[in-house]
Structure 1
Amino acid sequence: MRSRGKEHHTTIIKRSARKSQEGIHGGAWKVAFADFTLAMMALFMVLWIMGAVTEEERKEIVSLLNGGDAIFEGHSISPITQKDAGGELTIVGKRSPGKTDAEDAENEKTLAQQAKQGESLDSVNARSNSEIEDLARIIMQITSAYDAQANLKMEIVPQGLRILISDDQKREMFQRSSAILTPFFDRLLTKFAPELNKIDNKIIITGHTDATRFRDQVLYNNWNLSGERAMQARTVLTKGGLDPSRVLQVSGMADQMLLDPNQPLSSANRRIEIMVLTHSASESLYQFFGQHGEKVIKPLVDKISKTP
């Protein structure tokens, strides 16, 4: 018989396993916080840039992000047309619709004129693109009729239609070291002229030479030669029916833009380039040089007149 007050109790001690501290002191949260901080910095940078630049600069940035190029940048050249299974000419290398809206917006004067006629901006852009594509087909048809496919390449670029006419092993476009067009290319350019005149787009004509150098570089050099050849092409085109006011610029680039840099004396480098500009590209060129001197000469005249 057990006595009260002297009962024995068994004490049970439970030991729990020590919890891992890795979850508290790990580095995963630091990576997440760094990503969040970087994202916020990027957001603030975008907001700052949008507030700091003008509307025109924003459009230019968007154009560059979409793959747009400057007027004078080079592009890879490939034929713009090819025959499909049915023998029809089709356009290759066409611009994506997303770029067209940004790159081919009409200048203010053209938009005002089209608005008076009740034509929307979308229809203006669509008509302009369609006209350039139709012109490319016609140029290729004329080239095929003259069996001159080896002498002509075209591509549609954001600035418009780029037409390259060059020598090959069979035909020379100009007499060697001169700006005299050979009869074949004289006839070919004459055929192009009325077709170029059918659309309301400005044109740039540029002459290019190979890397062959004249003995007396001071007396005469590739700059002189390329410029004179571009002027000769302009003369033939205007005589063939091209409105002289359509020609916005005539220039020579000597051997600075070789199509075949690995063979600087190649016939492919001796060429004339005709760029049929979109309205926005010609407007950009006007802004660059100052249309009729409005943005270049007048501010300087005003500054001089105000000088005491």
Structure 2
Amino acid sequence: MRSNKHAMTIIKRSSRKSHAGVHTGSWKVAFADFMLALMALFLVLWIVGTVTQEERQEIVAQLNGTSLFDGSSVFDGRDSKPIVHDSGAGSMLVATTQTPDGAEHTDEMAEDLERNDSTAMNEADEAGKGSSTEPLESVLFRSDKELQQLSVMISNIISAYNAQDNLKLEKVPQGLRILIQDDKDRMMFPRGSAVMTPYFEKLLSELAPVFNRLDNQIMITGHTDAAKYRDSAVYNNWNLSGDRALTARRALERGGVEGDRVIQVNAMGSRMLLDTEDPLAARNRRIEIMVLTHSATQSLYEFYGLQGANVVKPIVERIQ
């Protein structure tokens, strides 16, 4: 038997490349970027699913570089020209749109308003003195024309905001009544609250420059539905309607309306329901803004006394 004493031992070594440089943290950065993009995608999908159609339109308008609050989109007459149908006193003014031929209509309307502004104060002074240098029919016609122009501008805002169900115009003998009310999709105030929602806050701020074009006085009235409070002795619909009317006044003042333009703020509670068959209907919860004619303003001055001059003396003093 052969001896293995002098046998040669062969050791085979395989060459292996080092993988120490491969296992770095760069893949973590890429994965984090991917997860961040995925989270942003789901966030966008969630926002799109929760916002309303009107809010989407506002977002698109802002991304396109246009805004409903810069003034040009509402009063320049380039987008739409409203047609106001008036079938008589107390009738609803319905706004429709047609393709505009240009901005001449709006420019002429603005010029007429500026001319009317210069004579409106003189008219009010003459009415306060109990005399007038022109026929009463002429004064009433000019005042009616001013309110008609005002209704055209407000109709533009209604179309721009798609607020046909929330903002309505009604021509009455005392002036132009603007009804701002709830519907099934939008609420001006949360239930039992006097804090105005952002949509109606923006809507009132858009109306403020329109009111400043005329010197007519404004009356604001708050209304509620017939829902009852548990403890009506502490807080009730009278308080709520008054607080909401004051909130509307502050919103108009923040939009630029001068404080002395508001002649009266009223609280009606649930005494004047629009829908008497359903006392809890959304349209019963509303704010009414009345743009008074000069004659209606003068009637208020005579009723309450212009700066105390025409106040009726108490009957007790007469007896004494």
The correspondence for 1:109, drawn from 126, 132, 152, is 126
CA shift for structure 1 position 130:
1.4
Partners of 2:189 and 2:233 in 1: CA distance: 22
Q: 1:124–1:255: structure 2 CA closer, same or farther, 3 Å change rule?
A: same
Q: Does 1:258 align with 2:276?
A: no
CA shift for structure 1 position 153:
1.0
Match of 1:143 in 2: 158
Match of 1:81 in 2: 94
Partners of 2:301 and 2:128 in 1: CA distance: 16
CA shift for structure 1 position 182:
0.1
Match of 2:12 in 1: none
Residues 229, 235 of structure 2: 8 Å contact kept: yes
CA shift for structure 1 position 121:
5.1
Match of 1:279 in 2: 294
Partners of 2:200 and 2:271 in 1: CA distance: 23
- Residues 30-41 of structure 1 mapped to structure 2, 5 A cutoff: none
Match of 2:260 in 1: 245
Partners of 2:131 and 2:258 in 1: CA distance: 22
Give structure 2 stretches of 5+ with no counterpart: 1-87, 102-122
- Residues 82-231 of structure 1 mapped to structure 2, 5 A cutoff: 82-83=95-96, 109-110=126-127, 122-231=137-246
Residues 175, 293 of structure 2: 8 Å contact kept: yes
One-letter identity of the residue aligned with 1:109: E
Match of 1:15 in 2: none
Q: Does 1:233 align with 2:238?
A: no
Q: Which piece of structure 1 moves more, 124-133 or 242-251?
A: 124-133
- Aligned-pair identity in percent equals 49
Residues 111, 121 of structure 1: 8 Å contact kept: no
CA deviations 1:125-182 (Å, max 9, x no partner) are 3332111011101111111101111101111111100100000011000111010000
Partners of 1:170 and 1:114 in 2: CA distance: 50
Partners of 1:261 and 1:108 in 2: CA distance: 41
TM-score (normalizing by structure 2): 0.60
One-letter identity of the residue aligned with 1:202: Q
Q: 1:278–1:249: structure 2 CA closer, same or farther, 3 Å change rule?
A: same
One-letter identity of the residue aligned with 1:248: I
Match of 1:269 in 2: 284
Match of 1:8 in 2: none
CA shift for structure 1 position 107:
5.4
Match of 2:308 in 1: 293
Residues 127, 298 of structure 2: 8 Å contact kept: no
One-letter identity of the residue aligned with 2:94: T
User: How many aligned positions are there?
Assistant: 212
CA shift for structure 1 position 235:
0.4
Residues 202, 246 of structure 1: 8 Å contact kept: yes
The alignment partner of 1:149 has SS state of coil
